[in-house]
Amino acid sequence: MIDQMRADAVDHFKDDWSAGLKRLVTKGAWFRRAAYPYLTTVTCAGHATVASGAFPNTHGVFQNAWWDRDAHRIVTCTDDPNTTDVGYDTLVRGGNSGNRLLVPSFADEMRSQRSAHVVSLSLKDRSAVMLAGHGADAATWLSGTLDGWVTSSALTNHPVAAVKAFSGANPIDADYGKTWSRLLPDSQYQGPDDGLGEAPPSGWTRTFPHVLKSGGGKPDLEFRRQWETSPYGDAYLGRFAAALVESLQLGKHDGIDVLGVSFSSPDMVGHAFGPRSQEVQDMFAHLDRTIGALFDRLDVLVGRDEYVVALTADHGVTPIPEQLMKAGKDAGRLSAAALIDAVEERARAALGPGKHVALMSGNDLYFEPGVYKELLAKPGALDAIVKALASRPGVAKVFRGEQLRDAGRAVDPLMRAAALSYFSGRSGDLIVALKAGWILTSGGTTHGSANSDDQRVPILFMGRGVKPGEYSRAATPADVAPTLAAVCGITMRQAEGHPLREALTFAPGP
């Protein structure tokens, strides 16, 4: 998994590549017309969809975080009060698991049907957890603070010695003071080095080079954010993955083993600098080398023709609105607070004083307990709120929850996309869909819409059983797990995607 990779990144940047990404494009099966069919194109939903082969309205993970109506608080997609995280370096708080993923992942099915050994890792908890599903031999991610690498008692019963050994021998702080300079010749970069609307992490400017060094003069959270927003984060992850393949003997057991790696740094860079930046182009040039080094180690440790690779992304990204506006496009930024104020104004007019909105999380707006029913009971009240939201610049449509419960096959593509992201009981009371070019963030850029910028991603396969070539049929990332399942001879019992049979050298079963 590459966190935040638009489909057109392959077309735009493939001539920069010479290693892993190049090998996938030239030696693998490349599906050019792949896209998520749903609205809320965010990290956790994307990883859950790829891992399970199902869509959010089925697997239940429609957002990175949402409002828990019963607990009256925000919960993350991996939040689990009944489990405990385990730190490899220090004590940590909280607990994460795949308990909110309501269907089996590919890794789950491989463990169940083929006794596979499973390793999953990422800089992000939600990425590593969703790729694993509900169990693993080793699943690890970085804590949100400076606590280092973490696992969960729900995934592995005890800390894994191989994880501790690598992290202990390879401290992240060793990258303190290093400089991210451009890898490619100056003439090869397609965008400006100082892009309008960019929002680099603290301590950096909008231009190269970027030094990994905090104002405090030592490794701290400022340094960590810089490190994650640089090629050094993914390079570390690639070495980590190769080390775990070797130490845990993946590919050397009787069955087929599973390695899930989610490279998070492109997402950090994309949010800060936008998809048209030199930083994003350079990040993919570095990632090409990182993935190439991982493939080289797999060639030695497992055998060049003894493994299969699937690569896709959890979402794309919208260009920075200021850059779009400068080019004469309809684009802009919306404020969630302003949208809430507009709703509160109409709600007060209908129901009287008080707080009526609990939260707006991404596209989902939640009312306080009982408010939605009161609005439904008062003629015209909810319609006035929907109209007020829909009239805001940048808003395409506003859907009521009850409209989406059975609209997965709706004729209107935007309603269908919203329905595929809607999970009753977890999703908001109102769902706000934005126009292309419009985002809900104050700096840099983001994703999370049903527009092609956010929905379209690459899908590539390579290895034994894969027929190289470029394929023009429409596909979704939900097809990845069923295709891998076909290669491995297992069934994905609750998948909604389908094997991409034309890219296989054999005829998989039904």
Q: How confident is the model at residue 181 (pLDDT cuts 50, 70, 90)?
A: very high
Contact 119, 245 (CB under 8 A): yes
The confidence score (pLDDT) of residue 145 equals 73
Rounded CA-CA distance 438/160 in Å is 44
Answer whether the bond into residue 209 is a cis peptide, omega within 30°: yes
Q: How confident is the model at residue 409 (pLDDT cuts 50, 70, 90)?
A: confident
Rounded CA-CA distance 293/289 in Å is 6
Rounded CA-CA distance 196/192 in Å is 9
CATH superfamily of 8-31+86-320+452-472+480-503: Alkaline Phosphatase, subunit A (3.40.720.10)
CA neighbor of 181 nearest in space, from 285, 110, 253: 285
Place of tokens 């790696």: 261
Partners of 332 in the beta sheet? 438
Beta strands in 80-178 (DSSP E): 85-87, 118-122, 138-142, 149-152
pTM of the model: 0.97
The CA-atom distances, in angstroms, between 317 and each of 320, 419, 437, 441 are 9, 21, 10, 13
Rounded CA-CA distance 295/5 in Å is 20
Task: DSSP letter for 14, please.
Answer: G
Taking only the tens place, the pLDDT of each residue in 13-51 is 999 999 999 999 999 999 999 999 999 999 999 999 999
pLDDT at 414 over 80: yes
Supply the angle between the helices 265-273 and 278-298 in degrees, to the nearest 10.
170
For the chain, give the mean pLDDT: 96
Give the DSSP per-residue string, 401-420.
HHHHTT-TT-SSHHHHHHHH
Taking only the tens place, the pLDDT of each residue in 381-407 is 999 999 999 999 999 999 999 999 987
Place of tokens 């998989």: 508
Rounded CA-CA distance 442/445 in Å is 8
> How many CB atoms are located within 10 Å of the residue 505 CB?
10
Task: DSSP letter for 201, please.
Answer: P
Taking only the tens place, the pLDDT of each residue in 429-463 is 999 999 999 999 989 999 999 999 999 999 999 99
297 three-state secondary structure: helix
Supply the angle between the helices 381-390 and 336-351 in degrees, to the nearest 10.
160
Q: How confident is the model at residue 159 (pLDDT cuts 50, 70, 90)?
A: confident
468, burial (CB in 10 Å: exposed 0-12, middle 13-18, buried 19+): middle
> How many CB atoms are located within 10 Å of the residue 144 CB?
13
pLDDT at 501 over 60: yes
The confidence score (pLDDT) of residue 158 equals 82
Taking only the tens place, the pLDDT of each residue in 264-278 is 999 999 999 999 999
The confidence score (pLDDT) of residue 508 equals 58
Q: For the chain, what percent of residues have pLDDT higher than 70?
A: 99
Contact 315, 41 (CB under 8 A): yes
Taking only the tens place, the pLDDT of each residue in 285-302 is 999 999 999 999 999 999
> Average pLDDT for residues 85-113, to the nearest whole number?
92
Task: For residue 432, give every residue at least 6 positions away whose Cβ sits within 8 Å of its Cβ, in sequence order, or none.
Answer: 339, 360, 363, 364, 365, 389, 395, 398
CA 354 to chain centre: 37
Q: How confident is the model at residue 223 (pLDDT cuts 50, 70, 90)?
A: very high
Fold (topology level) of 335-392+395-434: Gyrase A; domain 2 (3.30.1360)
The confidence score (pLDDT) of residue 96 equals 95
Structure tokens at 98: 């795949």
Contact 262, 1 (CB under 8 A): yes
Supply the angle between the helices 43-52 and 125-132 in degrees, to the nearest 10.
10
Residue-range domain boundaries for the chain? 8-31+86-320+452-472+480-503, 335-392+395-434
